[in-house]
């Protein structure tokens, strides 16, 4: 990154920002104002644009269903004043119909509320409406609605004041019609209000309850017809101008962004100073692009200093770049720090693949990433969505490879239904043996964890050397000594297991480097944390055990995926055989086959979603908690160049 300063006379400020927005490579850090008069004008224009933009968004909020609006490659917009004026014209055309719709909807909700809760009382209290909502000198009556779980509390607190009540419970709600003394009205109304209980607004009509409900049903039907007619009218009004509204919204959005940056130009009286950061490779674009339109401009560049905090722009090969999304979920690296994306990429894909480990599931995941991911995100064309899809492609491909090597296809599907031994399906029998036997899989997971963790500790030690943190370096050396000499010694001394086939005297000699490693861990803790090291050194020692054991989740999720798939195969087979036994002949076999296929599809799609989600979450956990926390801090700022983004397609309207 280079730190860039663009200085120009105030008359060229707006032209400068417009060109910078089109170039789209400068991360704007600071802008200084033209003059108080210009600033007021910019603020007023930004306010007007914001209002017009809000008006267009309000119109699009009423659109039902999704629409894909294809925007032209090049837009020659009308004057800004014309766009803002037409935006208010569009809103005025829709406003009257929208207000009628809102009134009709509100009336409909009120009528449906009365139909729902007065309908509960019609069989037990067919009285006059005036009796349901009566206020007199001595008595008053009301109808209240409350959740069933609150009914006992209300009756307990209000029972002393109520003379007579009719209570009807339906599903999760209760309707209570009660009569009480007028002297107690204020007390009961306060109690009702404090408990959030709804008091029904009974119409002041001289009708009995059953007659009113019949009349109310007719009103509901009429209001629904009116509401639907108004909805169709609103949709027709919006559809008529939809393309223009969307284009205008895009133009106003870009203008609002430009005015926001221009508004930040707030500190110099006669000149405008714009500061920011730009990749070294793009500096020529800024220089040539501004000089084409500016007669008076000064552009200077310098390397960022230690005190500066430049934004971070990650640069990775195409095969690794998608995993920048994973690193960003944790934290972006600070400018100049290590980028952990390569190490995260390899291990994340490997962990995901070994946990999913099914050829059919992996292929299904690839299809979902290709055809269904776009429906789950707001902007399918965004860079983040594209990179995340590639993460799924890479991780799913690794899972597919593991599935083919281990011969896993929908669990034991071929063994269950065709009697094919799984070992004959595996390209490499050794992998199939390791991933199908729980003990072997757990041991493999722990070995993988030990390797992964020690890579993190090596990186942590390198970072300690780089930052001259001697305490961290000493602690890491001690940790390595304990692992190298302590693990074989403990297994031999406590469990009588000869891990590396050495003689007893050699194992006994391992005790001394083990103790040396322990001393180094304690010393490193004191050097790094001072007096607190007397307590926290123990966590460095015990943490390695807990961290390694955490990798047993690789076996847990991997085996769960296989056994759940196998259980679904067994269940589908059992149901189909049961059906065929009750319905003999070809008909029974046909029905059993169809039911079996349907169950297999439902069960395995569910297992695909569940297993993919579990593999993704646990891969994140291992990369974030067990790996990155050992050496990585993050805390960087994302490089966000100031630019005009023209999308080719825009999805508007509510999802139905």
CB of 32 within 8 A of CB of 342? no
Q: Is residue 392 part of a domain?
A: yes
Residue in this structure with the two tokens 């072997």, named with its chain if needed: 440
φ, ψ of residue 288 to 5 degrees: the values are: -70, -40
Judgement on whether residues 335 and 399 belong to the same structural domain of the protein: yes
Are residue 408 and residue 326 in the same domain, yes or no?
yes
Cα separations in angstroms, 4 against 280, 282, 287, 627 = 10, 11, 10, 36
In a domain, 26, yes or no: no
Please determine, for residue 185, whether its predicted confidence score (pLDDT) is greater than 70. Answer: yes
The mean-pLDDT minimum among 135-144, 269-278, 343-352, 381-390 falls in: 269-278
In a domain, 96, yes or no: no
The strands making up 139-147's β-sheet, listed across from edge to edge, are 162-170, 173-181, 139-147, 198-199
517 and 556 both lie in a single domain = no
pLDDT of residue 266: 43
What does pLDDT average to over the chain? 84
Give a yes or no: residue 61 inside a domain: no
Q: What CATH number does the domain containing 165 carry? A: 3.30.70.100
Note whether 482 and 567 are same-domain residues: no
> What is the total count of domains within the chain?
3
pLDDT at 263: 60
Q: Report the alpha-carbon distance of residue 507 to residue 242 in Å, rounded.
A: 80
Residue 305 is assigned to a structural domain of this protein: no
For 225-251, what is the mean pLDDT? 86
Range with the poorest average pLDDT among 71-75, 473-477, 505-509, 543-547 = 71-75
Asked if 409 and 514 sit in the same domain, the reply is no
| Residue 615 predicted with pLDDT over 60 | yes
Count CA atoms closer than 13 A to 381's CA, side-chain side. 9
Asked if residue 40 belongs to a domain, the reply is no
Is the domain of 509 the same as that of 631?
no
* 124 domain residue, yes or no: yes
Residue 589: give the domain boundaries.
Answer: 315-419+440-464+552-638
Angstrom distance (rounded) from CA 494 to CA 504: 13
Same domain, 513 and 602: no
Average pLDDT over residues 316-342: 88
Spatial separation of the C-alpha atoms in residues 325 and 392, rounded to whole Å: 11
Per-residue model confidence as pLDDT tens digits over 554-575: 999 999 999 999 999 999 999 9
> Do residues 344 and 447 share a domain?
yes
Does some domain include residue 208? yes
Question: 409 with 494, same domain?
Answer: no
Q: Give pLDDT, residue 36.
A: 58
Both 460 and 512 in one domain: the answer is: no
Q: Are residues 329 and 451 in the same domain?
A: yes
Highest-confidence segment of 74-83, 140-149, 542-551: 140-149
- Average pLDDT of the residues in 249-261: 76
Phi (first) and psi of residue 545, to 5 degrees: -70, -50
- Give the integer Cα–Cα distance in Å for 609 and 607: 5
Instruction: For residues 446 and 484, state if they share a domain.
Output: no
When pLDDT is averaged across residues 323-351 and rounded to a whole number, the result is 89
């Amino acid at each position: 990154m280079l730190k860039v300063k663009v200085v120009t006379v105030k008359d060229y400020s707006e032209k400068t920002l417009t060109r910078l927005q089109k170039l789209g490579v400068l991360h704007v850090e600071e802008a200084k104002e033209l003059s108080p008069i210009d600033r007021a004008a910019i603020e007023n224009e930004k306010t007007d644009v914001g209002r017009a933009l809000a008006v267009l968004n309000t119109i699009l909020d009423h659109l039902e269903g999704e629409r894909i609006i294809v925007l032209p490659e090049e837009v020659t917009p009308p004057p800004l004043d014309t766009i803002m004026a037409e935006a208010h014209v569009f809103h005025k055309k829709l406003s009257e119909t929208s207000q009628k719709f809102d009134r009709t909807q509100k009336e409909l909700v009120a009528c449906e509320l009365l139909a729902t809760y007065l309908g509960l009382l019609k069989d037990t209290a067919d009285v006059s409406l005036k009796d349901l909502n009566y206020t007199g000198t001595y008595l008053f009556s009301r109808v209240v609605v409350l959740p069933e779980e609150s009914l006992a509390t209300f009756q307990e607190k209000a029972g002393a004041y109520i003379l007579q009540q009719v209570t009807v419970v339906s599903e999760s709600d209760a309707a209570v019609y009660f009569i009480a003394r007028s002297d107690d009205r204020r007390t009961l109304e306060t109690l009702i209000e404090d408990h959030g209980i709804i008091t029904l607004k009974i119409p002041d009509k001289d009708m009995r309850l059953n007659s009113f409900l019949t009349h109310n049903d007719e009103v509901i039907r009429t209001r629904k017809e009116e509401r639907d007619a108004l909805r169709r009218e609103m949709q027709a009004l919006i559809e008529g101008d939809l393309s223009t509204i969307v284009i205008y919204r895009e133009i106003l959005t870009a203008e609002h962004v430009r005015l926001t940056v221009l508004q930040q130009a707030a500190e110099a009286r006669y000149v405008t100073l714009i500061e920011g950061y730009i990749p070294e490779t793009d500096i020529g674009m800024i220089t040539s692009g501004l000089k084409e339109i500016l007669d008076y401009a000064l552009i200077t560049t310098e390397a960022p200093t230690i005190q500066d905090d430049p934004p971070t722009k990650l640069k990775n090969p195409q095969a690794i770049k998608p995993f920048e999304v994973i690193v960003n979920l944790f934290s972006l690296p600070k400018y100049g720090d290590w980028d952990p994306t390569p190490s995260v990429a390899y291990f994340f894909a490997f962990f995901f693949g070994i946990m999913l480990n099914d050829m059919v599931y992996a292929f299904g995941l690839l299809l979902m990433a290709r055809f269904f991911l776009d429906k789950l995100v707001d902007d399918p064309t965004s860079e983040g969505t594209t990179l995340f899809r590639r993460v799924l492609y890479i991780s799913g491909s690794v899972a597919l490879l593991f599935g083919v090597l281990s011969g896993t296809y929908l669990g034991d599907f071929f063994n269950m239904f065709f009697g094919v031994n799984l070992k004959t399906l595996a390209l490499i029998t050794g992998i199939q043996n390791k991933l199908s036997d729980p003990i072997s899989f757990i041991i493999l997971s722990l070995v993988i964890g030990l390797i992964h963790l020690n890579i993190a500790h090596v990186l942590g030690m390198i970072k300690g050397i780089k930052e001259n943190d001697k305490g961290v370096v000493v602690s890491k050396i001690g940790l390595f000594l304990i692992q190298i000499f302590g693990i074989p010694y403990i297994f031999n001394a406590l469990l009588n297991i000869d891990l590396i086939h050495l003689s007893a005297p050699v194992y006994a000699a391992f005790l001394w480097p083990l103790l040396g490693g322990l001393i180094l861990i304690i010393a490193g803790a004191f050097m790094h944390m001072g007096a607190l090291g007397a307590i926290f050194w123990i966590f460095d020692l015990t943490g390695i055990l807990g961290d390694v054991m955490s990798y047993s989740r690789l076996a847990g999720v991997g085996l769960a995926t296989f056994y759940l798939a196998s259980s679904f195969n067994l269940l589908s087979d059992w149901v189909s055989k049961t059906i065929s036994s009750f319905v003999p002949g070809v008909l029974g076999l046909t029905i059993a086959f169809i039911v079996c296929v349907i169950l297999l599809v439902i069960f395995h799609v569910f297992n695909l979603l569940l297993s993919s989600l579990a593999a993704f979450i646990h891969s994140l956990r291992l990369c974030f908690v067990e790996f990155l926390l050992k050496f990585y801090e993050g805390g960087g700022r994302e490089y966000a160049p100031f630019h005009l983004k023209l999308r080719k397609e825009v999805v508007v309207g509510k999802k139905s």
